[in-house]
Structure 1
Amino acid sequence: MKSTAGTECDTNGPSGGPAFDWDPRSEAVLNDQFQAYDHMRKTCPVAHSDYLGWSLFRHEDVLKALMDHETFSNAASRHPSVPNGMDPPQHTPYRRMIETYFTAERVDAFEPECRAIARELVAGLQKGHSTEIISEFADPYAVRIQCAFLGWPASLHGPLRQWVRKNQEATLARNTEAMAAIALEFDGYIRGQLNEREHAGSAAPDDITTSLLRQTVDGKPLDHDAIVSILRNWTVGELGTIAACVGIVADFLADRPELQAELRRDIGRLLPAIDEILRLHAPLISNRRVATKPVEIGGRRIAAGERITLIWASANRDEAAFDDAREFRLDRDPSQNLLYGAGIHVCPGAALARMELRVVMEELLARTDHIAPIPGGGVRAIYPASGFASLPLRIS
């Protein structure tokens, strides 16, 4: 049976049925990703496509893959990825080292700088006029806080914003040559920072980037390739995802003045509100795995070596995991929310991201009276991005 997202799947799998169950890049899917993923979750919850391999749409199946890292490996990329693309035992010492950069003490110490950046950006918004919240607020905030966190100069703000856009375009097009060139471009920015710090020696700034140059794993110093991979993972995730989150939350509040008013009165409810908003509208659409051995999931047989895509944007809207799944509610069990993943690869920077989002929205709500939508103004981002490519809002 044809649908806007694909076909109802054949439980015999691609070898005994159609070659592909759906097309993730079809116009119907890209026009409304969340509706398409909701449909797939109900009609073909484990679906095959040429673009994504096997896609898992149900919360139960995604959680199973997250918790079974021996069957569903994170080593899904052809390129080294430290430690995201590693499995135990290789993953364990790198993960242990990385977690030291996201302790509660580090997050608390960084909060005043985040707040100063957010406050400055809010002050620069034109009140009473249409404001392009992505390019004028969300993107600059994401770039500035990431550079501040890592100790990178302001001269990288512009190049990094351009790099994120180029990377998203090349990923969507599956243009491997462009993706390779873009990766090298980003590596060049990082290597430049590493070379400057090595040249400075003991006079190098006391920041996270310098600290990584002095780190060891299993008694061996990190080489530049490993540091570049770590910083690439941190920065790509931070820039695209934080900016998307800011746009998603601002749009949600703009459409709900009563919720805005409630949060202005009781700002302590802001953090769970943000998590719930981002459960409904995922800032990160999907993540990859690869099967290490034959496995059956959702009635489909997946062979060893096949690619698997975890569709966060569907799993967190699963009616089997959340009562009234499409409704905004502040009384949900937060442990079911897969916003930051689960298992050994759960996002190490979750506490940092939560603080950054809380702070920027606290400042936006505290220093404005009203956030209102511009009818027909927003343009949704398309896969692999989420959120909004542009989002005009009226700030007063």
Structure 2
Amino acid sequence: MDEKSLPDWDPRSEAVLKDQTTAYDDMRRRCPVAYSQYGYTSLFRHEDVLRVLKDHESFSNAVSRFPSVPNGMDPPEHTVYRNLIEPYFSPEHMDAFAPVCRDIAVRLVRALPDEGPSELIGEFAQIFALRIQCAWLGWPADLHEPLRLWTLKNHAATLARDDADLAAVALEFDGYIKDLLEVRRTAGAAAPNDITTILLRDQSLGRTLTDDEIVSILRNWTVGELGTISASVGILAHYLAINSEWQQQLREQPALLPAAIDEILRIHAPLIMNRRVTTKQVMLGGRTQAKGARIALNWASANRDEAVFGDPDEMRLDRDPELNLLYGAGIHVCPGAPLARLELRIVMEELLGRTSRIALAMDKEPVNAFFPASGFSSLPLRIQKPSSQALGACLPPEIP
């Protein structure tokens, strides 16, 4: 970006933060390649975002100030680590984890008050995200609350762009993981056979991974999982609360849930943006970007591009799934997509299958999350449950 160029927009202005989706829609139509005073060029069109995703030679993923395995790497280094982590999200791992995931979802839905107000984000979505992540990685329950507080601190440090706070937050997370690794090393053959232990013993590179490599991998998985799963659950519940016809159809036809979940999260993104940096001078939307220019890919806008999706708010289950950038595209497409899809499908199956009505609370308004998060920071709902007799007739047997 020419240093003399005036900013095209302020992504942290009150108007943008009040209604991110509307603001991004406006930018896509008015200024689809936009400079900001924060040193980034934001891309709002599907075409431009997809181009960057597929051209990893011109747009590097090595943007983090901390080691990031493999998210913050480019080929050939990225390829090596990507091949290492992909087996952890295999169909076999997903099948093995599904009963655990369902048990967590069942317990949390059961705990929701019948008819009374429920604060879905704090009382359900965040708890589900924490418990599900810890269960998948084999982490103890006493880590739930520290991780919840850590997520809030990480969000605040990211928003403030405070390097000292970001470094402190990263160091705190490193300490949690290194303690978990030490427990497993001490246990030896008696260590739990969970994902963390398997990663500790992984020999895919012809050697064991260093602690720094394991910490980076687990930090990437955890940061991405906790925020986006919690946001996604809130977005899905809100959409169904205000669209009773879809709520009823998905109760009656749960097989439609996978496509419906991806489509709802296309309409209302759980993740706002991702970053790249140019490796050479490039042209984007008629504007020259110098080598080293920082690029922000705005998922929340690209997935609502009228040129690709028509009416961005129209809910359709027959769209080409390849066009939906919910999990990215290209070599950096989210490796954890199978896990996220499993978790969201199961939690929505249980939320719909064990309730008869989900509606917005009449006396309290939802509160939007603020950048860099998406979704809702507060979502008051009224959730009605069927009688125990009716519930038993339509649900499978309980998981012991």
State TM-score, norm by structure 1: 0.95
**Correspondences of 1:24-103 after superposition (within 5 Å):** 24-51=11-38, 53-103=40-90
Residue 323 of structure 1 deviates from its aligned partner by 2.0
Amino acid paired to 2:383: I
Q: 1:3 maps to which residue?
A: none
What residue ranges of structure 2 are gaps of 5+ in the alignment? Answer: 385-400
Q: Quote the Cα distance in structure 1 between the aligned partners of 2:261 and 2:113.
A: 24
2:368 to 370, 377, 380: 380
Q: Could you report, residue by residue, the CA deviation over 1:291-343 in whole angstroms, capped at 9, with x for unpaired residues?
A: 01110011111111111110000000000111222211122111100000000
> Partner of 2:377 in structure 1?
389
Secondary structure of the residue that 1:216 maps to in structure 2?
A: coil
**What is the CA-CA distance between 1:198 and the residue it aligns to?**
1.0
Deviation larger for 218-227 or 30-39: 218-227
Q: For 1:75 and 1:216, how far apart are their aligned partners in 2? A: 25
Q: Which amino acid aligns with 2:60?
A: S
Corresponding position: 1:237 with 2:227: no
- Whole-Å separation in 2 of the counterparts to 1:240 and 1:296: 33
Q: What amino acid is the match of 1:272?
A: A
Moved more, 204-213 or 224-233: 204-213
Q: Would you say 1:297 and 2:298 are equivalent positions?
A: no
Match in the other structure for 1:210: 197
- Aligned position for 2:153: 166
Check the 8 A contact 2:84/2:205 in 1, yes or no: no
Q: Is the 8 A contact 2:121 2:230 kept in 1?
A: yes
Map 1:1-396 to 2 at 5 A. Answer: 14-15=2-3, 17-18=5-6, 20-51=7-38, 53-375=40-362, 376-396=364-384
Amino acid at match of 2:382: R
**Aligned residues with identical type, % of pairs:** 64
Quick check: 2:200–2:214 contact (8 Å CA) kept in 1? yes
Aligned-CA RMSD value: 1.1
SS at match of 1:320: helix
Q: CA deviation at 1:98?
A: 0.1
How far residue 374 of structure 1 moved from its aligned partner, in angstroms, is 1.7
Partners of 1:103 and 1:327 in 2: how far apart?
33
The CA deviation at 1:178 is: 1.0
AA aligned to 1:341 is G
Kindly tell me the number of residue pairs found equivalent between the two proteins: 383
Q: Is this contact kept in 1: 2:357–2:383, CA < 8 A? A: yes
Give yes or no for contact 1:117–1:145 (8 Å, CA) kept in 2.
yes
Q: Deviations over 1:84-106 (max 9, x none)?
A: 00000001110001001000111
Contact 2:68-2:217 within 8 A present in 1 as well: yes
Structure 1 residue 258: Cα displacement: 1.3
The alpha carbon displacement at 1:43 in A equals 1.0
Q: Residue type matched to 1:48 in 2?
A: Y
> Aligned AA for 1:309?
A
Question: In structure 1, what is the equivalent of residue 394 of structure 2?
Answer: none
SS in 1 for 2:262: helix
SS in 2 for 1:51: coil
C-alpha separation between the residues in 1 aligned to 2:52 and 2:300?
15
Greater mean deviation of Cα atoms: 47-56 or 342-351: 47-56
Q: Report the CA distance between 1:217 and its aligned residue.
A: 4.6
Alignment TM-score, normalising by the size of structure 2: 0.94
Contact kept in structure 1, 2:240 and 2:246, CA below 8 Å? yes
Is contact 1:130-1:393 (8 Å) kept?
Answer: yes
**Matched residues in 2 for 1:271 and 1:205: separation?**
32
CA shift for structure 1 position 121: 0.3
- Which residue is 1:9 aligned to? none
Asked if the contact 1:46–1:56 (Cα under 8 Å) also holds between the matched residues in 2, the reply is yes
Distance 1:52 1:314, change over 3 A: farther
* Structure 1 counterpart of 2:370, one-letter code: I
C-alpha separation in 2, matches of 1:306 and 1:258: 46
Instruction: State the alpha-carbon separation in 2 of the partners of residues 50 and 153 from structure 1.
Output: 43
Q: Give the AA of the match of 1:384.
A: P
Which runs of at least 4 in structure 1 moved beyond 6 Å after TM superposition?
none
Gaps of 5+ in 1: 1-12
Supply the AA of the counterpart residue of 1:113. Answer: V
> Partner amino acid for 2:12?
R
Shift of 1:220: 2.8
